[in-house]
Amino acid sequence: MEKVSARLAALAESQTLAMSQKSKDLKAQGHNVIDLSVGEPDFHTPDFVKNAAKKAIDDNFSFYSPVPGYRDLLEAISAKLKRENNLDYAPEQIVVSNGAKQSLTNILLCLVDKDDEVIVPAPYWVSYVELVKLAEGKSVVIETNIKDNFKITIKQLEEAITPKTKMLILCSPSNPTGSIYTHDELVAISKVIEKHPNIFVISDEIYEHINFVGKHESFAQFESIRDRVIIINGVSKGYAMTGWRIGYSASAKWIAKACIKLQGQTTSGASSIAQKASTAAINSDGSYPAEMRKGFEKRRNFMVDALSKIKGFNTNVPQGAFYIFPEISYFFGKSDGKTTIKNSDDFAMFLLNTAHVALVPGSAFGAPDYIRFSYAASDAQLKDACERIAKAVELLK
């Protein structure tokens, strides 16, 4: 009998990856699809990083790596946290994994018990609530909207906290909204966490280098709660290395030890070659991410301008990452004569089938009135995509 575990049955498929697959399938059938669904830089991994990987192969880094990662990579991350974020983390507090996704999984499985509550501000990145489910915890979602630039208020946070609250997940710069919490906003959140000594905070900082408004503010900067904050980061976004699969956590030593125990039984150390490549990336002077950021900012400006000219797309100005998250409920109830758009899923399918532009419906991020564009694509593709969308939505009456 084909029967998966209840744990798996309860898990939703990753909608970002599913939408990207749909777009690949359509392309394979010969359709000219513009894929703005999955969030990954369209830049190439820099040559100095590729060369470090080639050297690692020639130097026979072909054996199992230590479970938490090679010492030189852990030291490079520790030095980066000091240099770029002014944070003191010993190499023993860092665990390298197969992408930030695994780092998040490790932390949730190591800290969350059955029925523990995890506060997740929405719009949230697709995998948070599913990973909480996998850990048998319960997501407590705080809703935010475009008027507030998708940021939670202190009142909302205080109201969401119960005696069962184990954790808060923050993501700044945010996927899917591009919002960034200011220093003062983070201070205010830290004051709430200070009052609740049993609450941990995952601070997902994977988009730290893609910030159009200033210097990255890490949530781990507050001494009084430092031991309860877990930084998640990696090389996927900052160094255009999504396929290399290297992420990391930085946390209190006992949490790192727990992750090492779990990872030792599940995946062992991450790829030896990719770790050597990541060491070169993290030790570099920051000019590569800075170059990409400039490119993304130009595209952000283009997208804000282009979408604000299409009736029905209510857009704010994202401050970082490479996503724009317009509100599109204007189209609900409208029809092209064949399909009636009832929700963001219908709208995303309509745009995929009619305009051949792949996007991810807001429902995937707990925000069903919205749709996500990943503008990590060429200027020409973005222009073409916006023109196609403008034309397609004219059919909706």
Would you say 296 or 331 has its CB closer to ligand PMP?
296
- From the list ligand GLU, ligand PMP, none, which binds 123 (C-beta under 5 to 8 Å, kind-based)? none
- From the list ligand PMP, ligand GLU, none, which binds 373 (C-beta under 5 to 8 Å, kind-based)? none
Task: List, in order, residues 6 or more apart from 65 with CB less than 8 Å away.
Answer: 268, 269, 270, 271, 272, 275
Per the listing, tokens 């993290």 go with 282
Phi-psi region of 314 (alpha: psi -120 to 50; beta: other; left: phi over 0): beta
Would you say 97 or 354 has its CB closer to ligand PMP?
97
Helix axes of 287-308 and 379-393: crossing angle, nearest 10 degrees: 20
- From the list ligand PMP, ligand GLU, none, which binds 38 (C-beta under 5 to 8 Å, kind-based)? ligand GLU
- From the list ligand GLU, ligand PMP, none, which binds 14 (C-beta under 5 to 8 Å, kind-based)? ligand GLU
Question: If binding means CB under 6 A, how many residues of this protein chain bind ligand GLU?
Answer: 11
Both tokens of residue 290? 């800075």
Do 178 and 324 touch, CB atoms closer than 8 A? yes
- From the list ligand GLU, ligand PMP, none, which binds 17 (C-beta under 5 to 8 Å, kind-based)? ligand GLU
Rounded least distance, CB 162 to ligand GLU, Å: 29
Phi, psi of 7 (to 5 degrees): -60, -45
- The single-letter code of the amino acid at 31 is H
Distance CA 206, CA 209 (A): 8
The footprint of ligand GLU on residues 15-44 (CB under 6 A) is 16-17, 38-40
Closest-by-Cβ residue to ligand GLU is 39
Q: Indicate the pairing of strand 357-358 with strand 200-204.
A: unpaired
* 62-71 burial: b if 16+ Cβ within 10 Å, else e: eeebbbbbbe
Do 323 and 341 touch, CB atoms closer than 8 A? no
SS3 325: coil
- From the list ligand GLU, ligand PMP, none, which binds 119 (C-beta under 5 to 8 Å, kind-based)? none
SS3 223: helix
Would you say 272 or 354 has its CB closer to ligand PMP?
272
Do 67 and 269 touch, CB atoms closer than 8 A? yes
Q: Does residue 14 interact with ligand GLU by CB under 6 A?
A: yes
- From the list ligand PMP, ligand GLU, none, which binds 100 (C-beta under 5 to 8 Å, kind-based)? ligand PMP
Q: Does residue 168 interact with ligand GLU by CB under 6 A?
A: no
Rounded least distance, CB 375 to ligand GLU, Å: 12
Would you say 102 or 354 has its CB closer to ligand PMP?
102
Q: Does residue 175 interact with ligand GLU by CB under 6 A?
A: yes
- From the list ligand GLU, ligand PMP, none, which binds 126 (C-beta under 5 to 8 Å, kind-based)? ligand GLU
Rounded least distance, CB 75 to ligand GLU, Å: 27
Cis peptide bond N-terminal to 121, omega within 30: no
- From the list ligand GLU, ligand PMP, none, which binds 234 (C-beta under 5 to 8 Å, kind-based)? ligand PMP
Shortest CA distance to 55 belongs to which of 294, 373, 307, 277? Answer: 277
Closest-by-Cβ residue to ligand PMP is 99
Would you say 175 or 190 has its CB closer to ligand GLU?
175
User: Which positions touch ligand PMP (CB under 6 A)?
Assistant: 39, 99-101, 125, 171, 175, 204, 206, 234, 236, 242, 247
* 285-302 burial: b if 16+ Cβ within 10 Å, else e: eeebbeebbebbbebbee
Rounded least distance, CB 368 to ligand GLU, Å: 17
Rounded least distance, CB 46 to ligand GLU, Å: 20
Rounded least distance, CB 60 to ligand PMP, Å: 26
Residue 240: CB atoms within 10 Å:
22
Q: Does residue 173 interact with ligand GLU by CB under 6 A?
A: no
Do 96 and 68 touch, CB atoms closer than 8 A? yes
Residue 43: CB atoms within 10 Å:
16
Rounded least distance, CB 7 to ligand PMP, Å: 21
Rounded least distance, CB 14 to ligand GLU, Å: 5
Q: Does residue 126 interact with ligand GLU by CB under 6 A?
A: yes
Both tokens of residue 317? 């100005």
Distance CA 385, CA 26 (A): 16
Residues near ligand GLU (CB under 6 A): 14, 16-17, 38-40, 101, 125-127, 175
